[in-house]
């Protein structure tokens, strides 16, 4: 390719890149929470945990956690959820026992300890909070089967 054509292509590429950067810099990011991204969240706006248990919206929905878990350690060495919810301790602690599916390995074999695939509880279970939806939601829970 000759030098004038190559220089023209290079100049065009630089112009397009600089124009894209300028356009990106001028774009306004809008937050879903109604404040600037770097504004601190006022404590009164934090949604509190609801007391009691909420009804599930569909069959096989993982139960919501009815208590705070901010200080719970859940990592490869420790899972504080199991200190109350493991089948060996749930009765004495008055906590719901984990479903038996949590004690099955990938091949369906029963285990005496929680399966590694079910060890990180907050993959499926989240604390319940009375928080408004960030986007419109038209989901309706399933109704029980009529016989």
Q: Do 60 and 113 fall into the same domain?
A: yes
d(CA 65, CA 101): 18
pLDDT tens for 79-136 read 999 999 998 898 899 888 998 999 999 999 999 889 999 999 999 998 887 777 788 8
Asked if residue 57 and residue 25 are part of one domain, the reply reads no
- State in Å, rounded, how far the first CA of the chain is from the last one: 78
User: Rounded to an integer, what distance in angstroms lies between the CA atom of residue 87 and that of residue 145?
Assistant: 31
pLDDT digits (tens, 9 = 90+) for 33-86: 677 777 776 655 556 666 677 777 788 888 888 888 888 899 989 999 999 999
Q: Does residue 115 share a domain with residue 72?
A: yes
Domain that holds residue 23: 1-29
Q: How many CB atoms lie within 10 A of CB 73?
A: 10
C-beta of residue 102 within 8 angstroms of C-beta of residue 110: no
CA 37 from chain centre, in angstroms, equals 20
Looking up residue 111, the CATH number of its domain turns out to be 1.10.1130.10
Residue 42 falls inside a structural domain: no
Structural domains in the chain (count):
2
User: What's the predicted TM-score (pTM) here?
Assistant: 0.56
Residues 101 and 66 occupy one common structural domain: yes
């Amino acid at each position: 390719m000759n030098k004038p054509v190559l220089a023209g292509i290079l100049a065009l590429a630089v112009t397009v890149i600089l124009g894209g950067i300028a356009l990106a810099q001028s774009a306004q990011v809008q937050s879903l929470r109604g404040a600037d991204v770097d504004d601190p969240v006022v404590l009164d706006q934090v949604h509190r945990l609801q007391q009691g248990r909420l009804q599930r919206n569909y069959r096989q929905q993982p139960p919501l956690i009815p208590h705070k878990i901010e200080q719970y350690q859940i990592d490869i060495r420790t899972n504080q959820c199991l200190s109350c919810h493991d089948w060996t301790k749930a009765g004495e602690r008055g906590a719901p026992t984990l479903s038996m599916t949590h004690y099955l390995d990938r091949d369906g074999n029963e285990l005496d300890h929680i399966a590694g695939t079910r060890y990180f509880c907050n993959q499926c279970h989240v604390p319940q909070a009375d928080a408004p939806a960030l986007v419109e939601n038209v989901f309706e829970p399933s109704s029980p089967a009529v016989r």
